[in-house]
């Protein structure tokens, strides 16, 4: 059967006009009518808090609000960090655990990848109530039921911000199942952090197929890497196929608008300059069409990234372990 999948970095719902609106993000998603949406740079705040230095003060559960407004019945949020912006240039971070995973589904057991056991990920001690920290991470929204959740926290690269990946086993209307992986890699300027995380991500993707017998795996996210970075080459070497096959179109997703880089007069030359957002396929899935969605007025204002969408065919015969 065919499904439509979207990956979208929503920049904490801060638009290129520096305004905070969850409605605009939901409108972009609803406009493209995707079945499954992977979001990056998502916030869940229990109390009004400024979570990241670019964010605004709010007390919203962003994935819940966006899912409801976009007509997606199920959602799961997996934070990478707890964060609080103390000033325009300074943040405090705390580590998280799988107990911080949230959503509107009957939560199955959240399974962490084995590599996490090698990491010391105890919360940092600060002289401030942890409830004042917002949670920042990634989310998957779906029209179809989510049956299992797995998480992976990358080995931290030097002193850079903690990054993570999540996987949801989603049951399609024909009762077959597909793994959907969502991630947000680091932003080392020459790609060393991303390369390290790509190797871990490939192992994580392979483990899903090996442990469950389900070959159909869709991997989405903001990889902070143009196509020539070693991160992207490594994922392709590991058998992941990039859905973007257009020879005459680059598929740029960042920046979505000339205002996003603070140079409105010359910014039009740089709009959609970089391709940072990807959808990769691993066995059992075939791409029919892929495109950067810029089809509504909100798309260039809602976030500094544009969403990447793909119509995919799930080949149930390849999922040989499913009956």
Structure tokens, 79: 């934070």
Do the beta carbons of residue 275 and residue 250 sit within 8 Å?
Answer: yes
What does the pLDDT look like over 106-134, one tens digit per residue?
766 677 775 554 344 444 444 446 778 99
Pairing mode of beta strands 110-112, 146-153: parallel
Does 2 have pLDDT greater than 60?
Answer: yes
pLDDT over 70, % of the chain: 86
Structure tokens, 271: 């709009």
pLDDT over 90, % of the chain: 74
Q: Give the burial class of 93: count Cβ atoms within 10 A of its Cβ; 0-12 exposed, 13-18 middle, 19 or more buried.
A: middle
| Token pair 């257009």: residue | 246
pLDDT at residue 121 in the model = 44
Least confident window among 53-57, 153-157, 214-218, 259-263: 259-263
pLDDT at residue 259 in the model = 65
pLDDT at residue 102 in the model = 94
Distance of CA 47 to the CA centre of its chain: 23
Mean pLDDT, the chain, integer = 89
Is the model more confident about 34 or about 108?
Answer: 34
| Torsional class of 26: left (φ above 0), alpha (ψ -120 to 50), beta (otherwise) | alpha
Share in percent of the chain as helix, strand, coil (round to 5): 25, 35, 45
- Mean pLDDT calculated for residue range 133-157: 96
- Mean pLDDT calculated for residue range 246-250: 67
Polymer length in residues for the chain? 323
Do the beta carbons of residue 67 and residue 77 sit within 8 Å?
Answer: no
Listed residue (27, 123, 135, 117) closest to 78, CA to CA: 135
Does 270 have pLDDT greater than 80?
Answer: no
What does the pLDDT look like over 10-23, one tens digit per residue?
999 999 999 999 99
What does the pLDDT look like over 254-264, one tens digit per residue?
988 866 555 55
Is the model more confident about 247 or about 53?
Answer: 53
Q: What is the largest CA-CA distance in the chain?
A: 58
Band of pLDDT at residue 63, cut at 50, 70 and 90: very high
Do the beta carbons of residue 138 and residue 10 sit within 8 Å?
Answer: no
């Amino acid at each position: 059967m065919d499904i439509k999948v979207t990956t979208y970095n929503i920049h904490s719902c801060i638009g290129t006009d520096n305004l905070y609106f969850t409605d605009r993000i939901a409108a972009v998603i609803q406009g493209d009518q995707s079945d499954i949406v992977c979001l990056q740079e998502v916030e869940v705040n229990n109390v009004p808090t400024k979570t990241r230095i670019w964010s605004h003060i709010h007390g919203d559960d962003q994935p819940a609000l966006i899912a409801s407004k976009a007509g997606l019945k199920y959602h799961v949020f997996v934070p990478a960090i707890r964060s609080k912006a103390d000033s325009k240039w300074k943040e405090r971070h705390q580590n998280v655990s799988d107990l911080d995973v949230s959503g509107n589904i009957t939560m199955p057991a959240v399974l962490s990848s084995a590599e996490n056991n090698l990491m010391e990920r105890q919360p940092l001690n600060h002289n401030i109530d942890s409830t004042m920290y917002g949670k920042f991470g990634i989310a998957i929204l779906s029209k179809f039921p989510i049956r299992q959740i797995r998480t992976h926290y990358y080995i931290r690269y030097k002193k850079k911000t903690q990054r993570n990946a999540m996987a949801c086993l989603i049951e399609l209307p024909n009762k077959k199942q597909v793994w959907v992986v969502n991630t947000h890699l680091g932003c080392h300027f020459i790609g060393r952090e991303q390369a390290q995380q790509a190797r871990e991500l490939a192992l994580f993707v392979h483990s899903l197929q090996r442990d469950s017998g389900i070959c159909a795996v869709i991997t989405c996210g903001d990889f902070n890497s143009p196509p020539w970075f070693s991160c992207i080459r490594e994922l392709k070497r590991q058998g992941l196929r990039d859905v973007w096959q257009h020879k005459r179109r680059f598929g740029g997703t960042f920046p979505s608008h000339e205002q996003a880089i603070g140079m409105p007069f010359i910014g039009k030359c740089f709009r959609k300059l970089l391709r940072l957002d990807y959808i990769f396929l691993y066995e059992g899935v075939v791409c029919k069409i892929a495109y950067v969605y810029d089809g509504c007025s909100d798309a260039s204002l809602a976030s500094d990234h544009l969403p990447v969408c793909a119509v995919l065919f799930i080949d149930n015969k390849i999922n040989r372990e499913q009956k």
